[in-house]
Structure 1
Amino acid sequence: MNEPLKPSRDEPLKIAYSPCPNDTFVFDAWAHGRVPGAPALDVTFADIDITNGMAERGEFDVLKVSYAVLPWVLDDYALLPCGGALGRGCGPLVLTRESADAGDPASLRGKTVAVPSERSTAYLLFRLWAADQVPGGVGDVVVLPFHEIMPAVRDGKVDAGLVIHEARFTYQDYGLHRLADMGEHWEATTGLPIPLGAIIAKRSLGAERLRELAEAARTSVRMAWDDPEVSRPYVLEHAQEMDPAVADRHIGLYVNEFTADLGEDGYAAVRGLLTRAAAEGLVPPLGPDALAFA
C-alpha cells in the first residue's frame, strides 16, 4: 500500500473546527498568521458531528472532534495535548419541559431523548449517567442537530433533550428546566475534569510536524488570553448571532488550563471516559499507547 502523501511544508494545512466561540478564540491568532513560525491554515467551519465523520473518513490534516470518536480514529490521527476543551462545571445538560421532572432522573424512564450525536462525548456521559441513575433505562434516543434540540423539547416533539455549548446559558429562554447535569455526575464519581472536544492531527505528518502543530495551538491560545479583544471580531463573526456576553461566558467556561496543556488530569479524564464507555460496550477499547503523543 502506498504511504499517504504529506502536505508540502509550503501548503496550508487543511483544518476543520466549529464556529463556536471557544474554537474561534483558540485558533484566531494561528488562522490569521500571527503565530510566529506556525504553518498556514486552510480553515473549514463545521459542527462537531460533521468533523467526527471527517475524522472517521480520514479527511483533513487537523480536526476538532469529540473525545468520544477517538477509539475509531487513533490509528490515523494523534491526539494533540492542547487546543481542545475539557473543564469543570461545563458538562452537557438534560432538559425537559416539565418543572416537576427537574432533579428526578427516574422521570426519564422509557422517555424519548434527543441527543446531538451518538459519537459525542455528551452522548457517552449521558449513557453512563443513565445506566447509573435511570432505573429501567431511557426509551428511544433520536439524533438532532444541537440547535434543534431545545425547540423540539419545547414543542413536545421529544420528552427531553441533551444539550451542549451555549445552551447551558439559554435554555430558560425556551421555558425549559434542567433535569440533570452530566458533568456534575461525572465529576462527583471520578473527581476528574469533563473531556469534551479534542484536537487531532494526521500521524502521517510525522512526529516533528505534530510537535510543531501542538506548539502552534498552545501559542495561539496564549496569544488570545494575552489580548482577548484581538480575537473578538473573529469570534463574533462566526458566533451565529450569539449575544456577545454569552460568547464571553462560553469562552470563559471552555477555554482554560486544559486548553493549553492536557496535563495528568486531562489525560486521566480522557482515558477514564473511554475506558468506562468501552466497559459498557459504547466504544471499542483503547490500546495502552493509543493516546500517546509524538
Structure 2
Amino acid sequence: MKIAFSPCPNDTFVFHAWVHGLIPGAPKLDVTYADIDKTNHWAASGNGPEIQKISYAALPWVLPDYALIPCGGALGRGCGPLVLTKERTNAPSFITGKKVAVPSERSTAYLLFRLWEAQNVPGGVGEIVVIPFHEIMPAVHKGEIDAGLVIHEARFTYQSYGLNMMTDLGDWWESDTGLPIPLGAIIAHRSLDIKAITNWTRASVEYAWANPKVSRDYIMQHAQELSLEVAQSHINLYVNEFTENLGDDGVAAVSALLKRAAKEGLVPEFDEAMLRIE
C-alpha cells in the first residue's frame, strides 16, 4: 500500500509503527516523503498514493475521490502559522501592497492568511508568491520578500533568522471562532477499506504514545537537520487528542474553516456530510 507524508517529526512519529511493521494485520507501506504542497496537487490530480497527508484546505478538491481519515492528522490549539517580517512591527497595514511568500496556495496556512488579510490589511497585500516553506525565512531575512507565512518548526526557529512575528494566525483564528486549527489531514482513496485504514492509523498513533523513544532514530533521520529538542517540541505541539480522534470538535473546526473559505471563493463548495466516514 502506497502512502505519502512529510518528513516532519509529527508525521514520522505518527506513522513509525505502521511503516516498521509493528501494527498487527496492517499491510506493508511503500512510503514517499513529500512536502504538503506536492501531496495537495497529487491528490487533486488523482495520480498520488492511495493514502496521503494533505492540507485540510485541499479537501474540497479531493473529497469525491478520497475519504478523510479521522485520526493521524494535525489539528490543535496554539499551533497556527505565523506571519513574519524583518522589520519590528505588529501593524498589519505594513504589508499592504507588499510581496508575501506562502508555502502553498492550497494550505490551511494560506486560507487563514487570506481570511485574516480580508479583515485586517487595508487594501490587501500586493504579490503572493509560493515557495517551499524551508526557503521562506531565509528569503525574508535577505529582504527578497516583505513578509513570509511560515508553518511547522519555524514557530520555534524564526528568531535565529532575526525575524519578527507580526501575527500568530492561530491565535487570531481561535479568538475569532473558539475552534481549534485544522492543519494536516490524512486521506485515503474511497476504493479502499476506510475503516481498516482508520484502525491501523489509530493503532500507529497509540503505539507511538506508548513507546515514544522507539521512533527517535527514524524521526531524526528525516528531521531536516532539526535538533532533538526542536523535533520533540514539534511533536508535542502537533500530536494531540485530535491526532487520535478528530471527533465532533475537530469536524466542526474543519467545516467552519472550509465554509468560510468557500464563501470567499478560496475553495470549491463541498458536501459537509463527506467529512465523516460511515
Normalized against structure 1, the TM-score is what? 0.93
Match of 1:218 in 2: 202
**Alignment length, in residue pairs?**
277
The answer to whether structure 1 residue 52 and structure 2 residue 40 are counterparts is yes
The answer to whether structure 1 residue 42 and structure 2 residue 42 are counterparts is no
Match of 1:16 in 2: 4
Match of 1:73 in 2: 62
Q: 1:116 aligns with which of 103, 111, 120?
A: 103
Kept in 1: contact 2:103–2:133 (CA 8 A): yes
**Secondary structure in structure 2 of the residue aligned to 1:157:** coil
CA distance in 1, matches of 2:258, 2:169: 15
CA distance in 2, matches of 1:231, 1:52: 26
The answer to whether structure 1 residue 30 and structure 2 residue 18 are counterparts is yes
Q: Partner letter of residue 197 of structure 1?
A: G
CA distance in 2, matches of 1:262, 1:104: 35
- Please tell me whether Structure 1 or Structure 2 has the larger radius of gyration of its CA atoms: 1
* Segment of structure 1 superposing worse, 32-41 or 88-97: 32-41
CA distance in 2, matches of 1:244, 1:288: 39
Q: What 5-or-longer segments of structure 1 have no aligned partner?
A: 1-12
CA distance in 1, matches of 2:146, 2:272: 40
| 1:68 positional shift | 0.6
CA distance in 2, matches of 1:217, 1:242: 25
The answer to whether structure 1 residue 261 and structure 2 residue 245 are counterparts is yes
Match of 1:188 in 2: 175
**Secondary structure in structure 2 of the residue aligned to 1:289:** helix
CA distance in 1, matches of 2:118, 2:210: 43
**Secondary structure in structure 1 of the residue aligned to 2:135:** helix
| 1:251 positional shift | 0.2
| 1:290 positional shift | 2.1
CA distance in 2, matches of 1:28, 1:137: 42
| 1:257 positional shift | 0.2
Cα RMSD, aligned residues only: 0.7
C-alpha deviations, 1:69-112, integer Å up to 9, x for none?
1010011000000000001000000000001x1x2111111111
| 1:139 positional shift | 1.0
Match of 1:245 in 2: 229
C-alpha deviations, 1:202-227, integer Å up to 9, x for none?
0011xxx2101101111101111111
CA distance in 2, matches of 1:253, 1:289: 29
Kept in 1: contact 2:255–2:272 (CA 8 A): no
Match of 1:201 in 2: 188
Q: What 5-or-longer segments of structure 2 have no aligned partner?
A: none
CA distance in 2, matches of 1:136, 1:107: 11
| 1:53 positional shift | 1.1
CA distance in 2, matches of 1:135, 1:33: 53
Give me the identity figure in percent. 65
| 1:288 positional shift | 3.4
C-alpha deviations, 1:145-184, integer Å up to 9, x for none?
1011001100000000000000000000000000001101
Q: Which contiguous aligned blocks of 4+ residues in structure 1 show a shift greater than 2 angstroms?
A: none
**Secondary structure in structure 1 of the residue aligned to 2:175:** helix
Normalized against structure 2, the TM-score is what? 0.98
Match of 1:282 in 2: 266
